[in-house]
Amino acid sequence: MIFWQEKNRTNDLSSRPASGGIKFFNHYGVYCTMDEPVKKTEFTTFIEREARIHVDGYIESAIHLAEEVHSGVKREDGKSPFLETHIFPVAMDVIRHYKEANKPMTTVQVVSAILHDVLEDNDGILDPHAAKSYGFDAYFSHKFGDYVYRVAATLKTKPLEGFMGDTDKEREIARFRQYSNALLRSEYDIKTIKLADRLNNMRFISRMPDHEKVARYVREAEDFYIAYTIMEPVMDDYYLAIRKSYENLKDLAKRPVRITA
Residue 169 lies in a domain: no
Residue 80 lies in a domain: yes
Q: What average pLDDT does this structure show over 126-142?
A: 68
Q: Which of the 8 DSSP states describes residue 32?
A: E
pLDDT at residue number 255: 76
Q: How many domains does the chain have?
A: 1
Q: What average pLDDT does this structure show over 171-184?
A: 95
The answer to whether the beta carbons of residues 224 and 177 sit under 8 Å apart is: no
Residue 177 lies in a domain: no
For residue 19, the domain's CATH number is 1.10.3210.10
Buried-exposed string 81-103: b where 16+ CB fall within 10 A, e elsewhere = bbbbbbbbbbbbbbbbbbbbeee
pLDDT confidence of 125, banded at 50, 70, 90? Answer: very low
pLDDT confidence of 139, banded at 50, 70, 90? Answer: confident
Residue 135 lies in a domain: yes
Q: pTM for this one?
A: 0.83
pLDDT tens string 221-261: 999 999 999 999 999 999 999 999 999 999 998 876 554 44
The answer to whether the beta carbons of residues 179 and 224 sit under 8 Å apart is: no
Q: Which of the 8 DSSP states describes residue 186?
A: S
Residue 113 lies in a domain: yes
pLDDT tens string 43-86: 999 999 999 999 999 999 999 999 999 989 999 999 999 999 99
pLDDT at residue number 136: 84
Q: In terms of Cα–Cα distance, which of 108, 76, 121, 113 is closest to 196?
A: 113
Residue 181 lies in a domain: no
Residue 220 lies in a domain: yes
Assess whether pLDDT exceeds 80 at residue 7. no
Assess whether pLDDT exceeds 80 at residue 176. yes
Residue 110 lies in a domain: yes
Domain containing residue 142: 5-156+187-254
